[in-house]
Amino acid sequence: LLGGKLLNYGDAAVELLPLPRIPVTLILWFSDDEFPARADLLFDATCERHLPLDIVWSIAMLSALVML
């Protein structure tokens, strides 16, 4: 749906392009004996130059919903 590209981070990772010039990276870490499972959602450092904070939040929510 968002044109993802697989990356080599964590246990699984994908880079999504919900909008042009706004890459979003989702990194999944599976649980093990020492650490619980977690997910990181990373934005390009330039996203704040292109979009207001409420739109960045909306993109984060859309990206998370697509991954469910």
Neighbours of 65 (CB within 10 A): 9
pLDDT value at residue 33: 94
pTM of full prediction above 0.75 = yes
Q: How far apart are CA 9 and CA 25, in angstroms?
A: 10
The answer to whether the beta carbons of residues 56 and 12 sit under 8 Å apart is: no
Tens-digit pLDDT profile for the chain (68 aa)? Answer: 557 899 999 999 999 888 888 888 999 999 999 999 999 999 988 888 888 999 999 988 887 887 77
Got the DSSP string for 21-43? TEEEEEEEE---SSS--EEEEEE
The answer to whether the beta carbons of residues 29 and 42 sit under 8 Å apart is: no
